[in-house]
Amino acid sequence: MASLKDALLKVGLKETQKPAAANQREKIAKKKVTEEVIHQEQRNFCEACEQIRPDVELYKHRNPTTEAEWICVRCADQLQIADTFRKTAQSDTSIKRMFRREYGATLSPDQIKSPPQGNKPRGPVNGNR
């Protein structure tokens, strides 16, 4: 006598393949991910208005009304932060040389000094921030 499996195959029913696990994804080597993905090449989030803007730059200012350092042009104009406190020229508008300030003079990207690197002490706290 034949088995039940043979009888079902004789009738015309075929064996199905086992499905792969639904939540299982292929494994990617860590080296491959770090080579292909660049994290945060440019900052575009304004900490003052909490919006994504194309003209966000780093300002090392002494304005006591805000704690934000990555600020868009609109907020920097409203907070009356001079362009001399700008430390980066990394935004899309700055790269395309369309960066314009309404409050005070606008510096060219060549005139901007890069921010200090490392964890150097800043000196005594002045109490305004």
Give the tens place of pLDDT for each residue, 9-58.
888 888 777 776 777 777 766 665 555 555 557 888 999 999 999 889 99
The kind and range of the H/E element at 70 are strand 70-72
Domain boundaries, the chain: 45-107
Strand partners, 45: 52
Q: Rounded to an integer, what distance in angstroms lies between the CA atom of residue 48 and that of residue 70?
A: 8
Query: What global pTM score does this model have?
Result: 0.55
The kind and range of the H/E element at 52 are strand 51-52
Q: Of 65, 59, 64, 66, whose CA–CA distance to 104 is shortest?
A: 59
Q: Rounded to an integer, what distance in angstroms lies between the CA atom of residue 86 and that of residue 71?
A: 9
